[in-house]
Amino acid sequence: MRVGRRIVAGLLAALIVAAGVITVIEIVAAAGGGRGYVVVDWPAWADDLADTAWSSGPVRLAAGVCVLVGLLLIWLGARRGTPSRLAVRRGCAQTIVFVERRGVARALRSAALTVDGVRAARVRVRDRTADVRLRLRQRVAGGARERAGAVLASTLVSFELAEPLELRIQATPPAADRTVNGADRAAGGAA
């Protein structure tokens, strides 16, 4: 579930729970012989609503807001998110095989870390792309990005995805002002 949907679902759930708790409190108080209200002044609301016509402006405004909120919830529920699985090409037409996006990301990350010169790798598999961010080591022979690109491409091809992903690689060279043990040269003064 995406973050936006989680927020809307959480707010809606909290609102429904609060309304339910208040309703139960009011029903128990009314059943117990209490007069009036406990939390919400519902008798005053009932009197006001009894005197209000269906065609009045506030009623139409409230109905319009309810329709818009309902349409928003329908749209959020019907909108297709990013599927967590990717289809794989196999020989049998009656069988469909899937691989998890996280599994592809883990395999690409571990393949990138096997390349000499790659210190860290971060992989994110999206709809049609696999974004790979590499951090290179300080003192390694050149071409680490190219070697990693070849390894990552062959790993991605080995999955035999029905819709191949575009591989995007971003390599970050090591900072020039750091020593091998990670201490800053500028902070220490001497190298």
pLDDT of 91? 64
Lowest-confidence pick of 9-13, 94-98, 137-141, 160-164: 137-141
Q: Is the pLDDT of residue 175 over 80?
A: no
| 3-state SS, residue 133 | strand
Q: Is the pLDDT of residue 84 over 80?
A: no
Q: What is the DSSP string of 42-58?
A: HHHHHHHHHT--TTSHH
pTM of the model: 0.55
Alpha-carbon distances of 48 from 4, 37, 44, rounded to whole Å: 37, 15, 6
In the chain, the domains with their CATH numbers are 3-78 (no CATH), 85-172 (3.30.300)
pLDDT of 141? 60
Q: Is the pLDDT of residue 5 over 80?
A: no
Tens digits of per-residue pLDDT, 24-49?
998 888 888 877 788 888 888 888 88
- In degrees to the nearest 10, what's the CA dihedral of 51, 54, 60, 64? 120
CA atoms of 14 and 1, how far apart (whole Å): 18
